[in-house]
């Protein structure tokens, strides 16, 4: 739902975007996109989604801090490449605590991710 769509819901026309989201029980579109990107990243790393290309590079880091699934962000001079899935998700994924990233199942990952988002909104940009 975009900011324009929520205005069309009866009784919400005069409210601010954040108030409309609270009334409906939704998170912001930006936060929902980040969460779905993180879910896809978890699925790729855990092998639940099989891709025939190397989208996520786990080889660029040694494990000295954080979790063992740190992603390497490729540098680019082209603006369009900065917004590819594999680049836009790296910083957010790497900032997650190891308890979330190393979750044993997708459902556990979702639950832990929601707790991180609620408790530490600063983790997600």
Q: How confident is the model at residue 104 (pLDDT cuts 50, 70, 90)?
A: very high
Residue 104 domain-assigned (yes or no) = yes
Which domain covers residue 42, as residue numbers? 34-123
Residues 58 and 64 sit within 8 Å (Cβ to Cβ): no
Q: Report the pLDDT value the prediction gives residue 121, as an integer from 0 to 100.
A: 47
The reported pTM is: 0.76
Interior angle at CA 118, CA 5 and CA 7, nearest 5? 10
pLDDT tens readout for residues 34-56: 999 999 989 988 888 877 656 56
Q: How many domains does the chain have?
A: 1
> Is 115 within a domain?
yes
Q: Which two tokens stand for residue 49?
A: 């989604």
Question: Alpha helix locations (H) across the chain?
Answer: 3-7, 17-24, 29-46, 79-82, 85-88, 90-95, 98-101, 106-119
Neighbouring residues of 2: CB distance < 8 A, sequence distance ≥ 6: 29
Please check whether residue 24 lies inside any domain of the structure: no
């Amino acid at each position: 739902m975009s900011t324009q769509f929520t205005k069309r819901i009866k009784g919400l026309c005069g409210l601010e975007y954040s108030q409309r989201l609270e009334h409906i029980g939704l998170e912001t579109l930006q936060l929902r996109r980040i969460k779905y990107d993180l879910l896809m990243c978890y699925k790729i790393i855990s092998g639940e989604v099989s891709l025939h290309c190397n989208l996520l590079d786990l080889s660029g880091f040694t494990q000295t801090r954080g979790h063992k699934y740190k992603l390497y962000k490729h540098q680019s001079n082209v603006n369009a490449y900065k917004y590819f899935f594999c680049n836009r998700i790296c910083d957010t994924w790497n900032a997650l605590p190891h308890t979330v990233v190393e979750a044993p199942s997708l459902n556990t990952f979702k639950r832990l991710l929601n707790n991180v988002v609620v408790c530490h909104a600063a983790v997600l940009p």
